[in-house]
Structure 1
Amino acid sequence: MSLLEELEDLTPAGRAVFSIGGMWCASCARAIEKTLIRVVGIESAQINFTAASALITWNPQRVNFHQLVQRVEALGYSISPWLTPKKAQQSLKKQTQKLSLQLAIAVVFGMWSMLGSWVLYLSSNPFEVEYNLALTTLLLALPVVLYSGLDFYRAAFNTLRLGIAGMDAFISLGVWGSVIISVVNLSMGKTDVYLDAATMLITFLLLGRLIEIKAKTSSQKAIQALEKLSPETATRLVFNQQPASPTQEELAVSELSINDLVLVKAGERLAVDGLVEKGTSLLNNALLTGEFQPQKVAAGQLVYAGAINLTAPLEVRVVTATNKRRIDLLGLRMLELFSGRSTLAATAEKFVSLLFPITLSLALAALVYYLAIGQAFSQAILGSLSILVAACPCAVGMALPLAYALASYKAAQQGVVWKDPASIENLAQAEIMAFDKTGTLTLGKLQVTHLTLKAGWQAAEVAQFLLLVEAGNAHPLAEAITNYATAKLTKDNIPPLENENPPQIFSQGVALELANNQGPIHLGSHAWLSSLGVKDLPSLNPAEVYLSYRQEWIATLKLTDSLRPEAKGFLEGLVKEYGLDIWLMTGDSTAAAKALIDELKINFDQVVTHASPEEKAQIINKLPRNKLAFVGDGANDALVLASASAGIAMPGASSVAVAAAGVVITQDERGLEALAASLKLAKKFYRLVKQNLFFAVIYNLGVISLFFVLGVTPLAAAIAMLLSSLSVLLNTLRLIKN
Structure 2
Amino acid sequence: MTTTESPAGHGRVELAIGGMTCASCAARIERKLNKRDGVSATVNFATERATVTHRSDVTVDELVSIVEAAGYEATPPRSHDEPEDQPESAEDEHTTDLRLRFVIAAFLGAPVLAISMVPVLQFPVWQWVVLALSTTVVWVCGWPFHRAAAVNLRHGATTMDTLVSMGVTVAYLWSVYALVFGGAGVVGMRHEFSIAPSARAGADVYLEVAVGVTIFLLLGRWLEARSKRKAGAALRALLALGAKDVVVLRGDRELRIPVAELVVGDLFVVRPGEKIATDGAVEIGSSAIDRSMVTGESVPEEVGVGDGVLGGTVNVGGRLVVRATRVGTDTQLAQMAKLVEQAQTGKAEVQRLADRISAVFVPIVLALALITLAGWLVAGKPVEFAVTTAVAVLVIACPCALGLATPTALLVGTGRGAQLGILVKGPEVLESTRKIDTVVLDKTGTVTTGQMALVEVRPVAGVDRQDLLSFAGAVEQASEHPIARAITTGAQSELGSLPAVEDFRNTEGLGVVGVVDSTAVLVGRPRLLADWSIEIPAELAAVQREAEASGRTVVAVAWDGAAKGLIAVSDTVKQGSGEAIRLLRGLGLRPVLLTGDNSTVANAVAAEVGISPADVIAEVLPADKVAAVRKLQSEGHTVAMVGDGVNDAPALAAADLGLAMGTGTDVAIEAGDLTLVRGDLRATADAIRLSRRTLATIKGNLFWAFAYNVAGLPLAALGLLNPMLAGAAMAFSSVFVVTNSLRLRGFQSSTR
- Pair in the same fold by TM > 0.5: yes
**Two-structure CA RMSD over aligned residues (Å):** 6.7
1:394/1:500 CA distance change after superposition, 3 Å: same
Q: Is contact 2:659–2:675 with CA below 8 Å preserved after alignment?
A: yes
> After alignment, is 696-705 or 442-451 more displaced?
442-451
2:710 aligned with 1:701 = yes
1:448/1:97 CA distance change after superposition, 3 Å: farther
1:666/1:566 CA distance change after superposition, 3 Å: closer
Q: Is contact 2:646–2:665 with CA below 8 Å preserved after alignment?
A: yes
2:355 aligned with 1:349 = yes
2:566 aligned with 1:556 = yes
Q: Secondary structure at the match of 1:355?
A: helix
Q: Distance in 1 between matches of 2:621 and 2:436?
A: 25
1:203 CA displacement: 4.2
1:548/1:140 CA distance change after superposition, 3 Å: farther
Q: Given the alignment, which residue of 430, 442, 454 partners 1:448?
A: 454
Q: Secondary structure at the match of 1:22?
A: strand
Q: Corresponding residue for 1:241?
A: none
Q: Distance in 2 between matches of 1:555 and 1:36?
A: 74
Q: Secondary structure at the match of 2:443?
A: coil
Q: Is contact 2:25–2:159 with CA below 8 Å preserved after alignment?
A: no
Q: How does 1:283-432 map to 2 (within 5 A)?
A: 340-366=346-372, 384-397=390-403, 399-400=405-406, 426-432=432-438
Q: How does 1:60-79 map to 2 (within 5 A)?
A: 64-65=57-58, 70-71=62-63, 73-76=65-68
Name the TM-score, length of structure 2 as normaliser: 0.57
Q: Corresponding residue for 2:315?
A: none
- Amino acid corresponding to residue 352 of structure 1 in structure 2: S
Q: Corresponding residue for 2:500?
A: 499
Q: Distance in 1 between matches of 2:349 and 2:637?
A: 9
Q: Distance in 2 between matches of 1:621 and 1:451?
A: 41
Name the TM-score, length of structure 1 as normaliser: 0.57
Q: Distance in 2 between matches of 1:203 and 1:388?
A: 21
- Amino acid corresponding to residue 162 of structure 2 in structure 1: L
2:543 aligned with 1:543 = no
Q: Corresponding residue for 2:12?
A: 18
1:338/1:730 CA distance change after superposition, 3 Å: closer
Q: Distance in 2 between matches of 1:441 and 1:432?
A: 16
1:101-123 Cα distance to aligned partner (Å, 9 max, x none): 54465467647756876775467
1:632/1:219 CA distance change after superposition, 3 Å: farther
Q: Is contact 2:446–2:643 with CA below 8 Å preserved after alignment?
A: yes
Q: Distance in 1 between matches of 2:208 and 2:446?
A: 63
- Amino acid corresponding to residue 703 of structure 1 in structure 2: G
1:450 CA displacement: 1.1
Q: How does 1:251-270 map to 2 (within 5 A)?
A: none
* Percent identity of paired positions between Structure 1 and Structure 2: 21
1:585/1:98 CA distance change after superposition, 3 Å: farther
Q: Distance in 1 between matches of 2:631 and 2:354?
A: 27
Unmatched runs of 5 consecutive residues or more in structure 1: 225-250, 254-267, 270-324, 490-494
1:733 CA displacement: 10
Q: Distance in 1 between matches of 2:108 and 2:480?
A: 68
Q: Given the alignment, which residue of 144, 155, 162 partners 1:173?
A: 162
Q: Given the alignment, which residue of 457, 465, 469 partners 1:463?
A: 469
Number of aligned pairs?
A: 598
Q: Is contact 1:544–1:558 with CA below 8 Å preserved after alignment?
A: yes
1:18-59 Cα distance to aligned partner (Å, 9 max, x none): 23333689989977876676556x4x8576979975556x7x
Q: Given the alignment, which residue of 221, 225, 228 partners 1:202?
A: 221
1:29/1:404 CA distance change after superposition, 3 Å: closer
Q: Distance in 2 between matches of 1:630 and 1:546?
A: 35
Q: Is contact 1:509–1:525 with CA below 8 Å preserved after alignment?
A: yes
Q: Distance in 2 between matches of 1:708 and 1:730?
A: 29
Q: Distance in 1 between matches of 2:378 and 2:162?
A: 24
1:534/1:101 CA distance change after superposition, 3 Å: farther
1:718 CA displacement: 1.9
Q: Is contact 2:514–2:520 with CA below 8 Å preserved after alignment?
A: yes
Q: Distance in 2 between matches of 1:176 and 1:620?
A: 59
Q: Secondary structure at the match of 2:498?
A: coil
1:560 CA displacement: 3.2
Q: Distance in 1 between matches of 2:15 and 2:453?
A: 49
Q: Distance in 2 between matches of 1:22 and 1:585?
A: 44
Q: Corresponding residue for 1:275?
A: none
Q: Distance in 1 between matches of 2:728 and 2:645?
A: 53
1:390 CA displacement: 0.9
Q: How does 1:46-195 map to 2 (within 5 A)?
A: 64-65=57-58, 70-71=62-63, 73-76=65-68, 87-88=79-80, 90=82, 97-99=89-91, 101-103=93-95, 106=98, 110=102, 113=105, 121=113, 124=118, 127=126, 134=134, 141=141, 145=144, 170-174=159-163, 176-177=165-166, 180=169, 184=173, 190-192=207-209, 193=211, 194-195=213-214
1:134/1:438 CA distance change after superposition, 3 Å: farther
1:98/1:442 CA distance change after superposition, 3 Å: farther
1:391 CA displacement: 0.4
Q: Distance in 2 between matches of 1:536 and 1:48?
A: 75
Q: Secondary structure at the match of 1:546?
A: strand
Q: Distance in 2 between matches of 1:698 and 1:375?
A: 29
Q: Is contact 2:499–2:516 with CA below 8 Å preserved after alignment?
A: no
Q: Distance in 1 between matches of 2:129 and 2:637?
A: 57
> After alignment, is 442-451 or 370-379 more displaced?
370-379
1:459 CA displacement: 2.2
1:362 CA displacement: 1.9
1:345 CA displacement: 2.9
Q: Distance in 2 between matches of 1:439 and 1:717?
A: 58
1:657/1:601 CA distance change after superposition, 3 Å: closer
Q: Distance in 2 between matches of 1:667 and 1:112?
A: 53
1:112/1:69 CA distance change after superposition, 3 Å: closer
Unmatched runs of 5 consecutive residues or more in structure 2: 180-206, 243-262, 266-279, 282-329
- Amino acid corresponding to residue 705 of structure 1 in structure 2: P
1:359 CA displacement: 1.2
- Amino acid corresponding to residue 605 of structure 2 in structure 1: L
